[in-house]
Amino acid sequence: MPKNQITTKNPEETKEFARVLLKEWLEVNKNKNSNWLVCLYGGLGGGKTTFVQGLTEGLLVKETVNSPTFLIMKKYNSSQKTNKKYTLYHFDCYRISDYKEILDLGWDDIIGGKNNIIVIEWPEEIEKILPKKRLNLKFEFVDENSRKIKYG
């Protein structure tokens, strides 16, 4: 299996993969105030929101995490138990008709802020405003519970 892909057998493994990536990013950036942009590609029901749930679990977020399909964006703050305060912005661009809708939500401040984790489902809808520096993950169905996740 190539180094830049993983197959998860169930939602819990997808969440664990997210927690592992988060832990690696936090370790690399522990002395920085960097942002992390993560773009999630794949079909409906492909595991993207499950992945975000893994990230928020890793940040010790207390709120229930679900897809912001009708809201476009949800914001979550890390628990006080984490060593640094992080804000996770979860965008779902499935219903976006124009990338300018994202700009109206404070995109420039979010992408230019500090210690933000920005996760975007359906990023192809706002490709024009996405920075080149980002982690892309592509979710593919293997079967009802399993997903192949390609990243890089």
Walk me through the domains of the chain, giving residue ranges and CATH numbers. 5-147 (3.40.50.300)
What are the pLDDT tens digits along the chain (152 aa)?
Answer: 457 999 999 999 999 999 999 999 999 888 888 899 999 999 988 899 999 999 999 999 988 887 777 789 999 999 867 678 999 999 999 988 888 899 999 999 999 999 999 999 999 999 999 999 999 999 999 999 999 999 98
pTM of the model: 0.90
The C-alpha atoms of residue 101 and residue 90 are separated, in whole angstroms, by 15
3-class SS string, the chain: CCCCEEEECCHHHHHHHHHHHHHHHHHHCCCCCCCEEEEEECCCCCCHHHHHHHHHHHCCCCCCCCCCCCCCEEEEECCCCCCCCCEEEEEECCCCCCCHHHHCCCHHHHHHCCCEEEEEECHHHHHHHCCCCCEEEEEEECCCCCEEEEEC
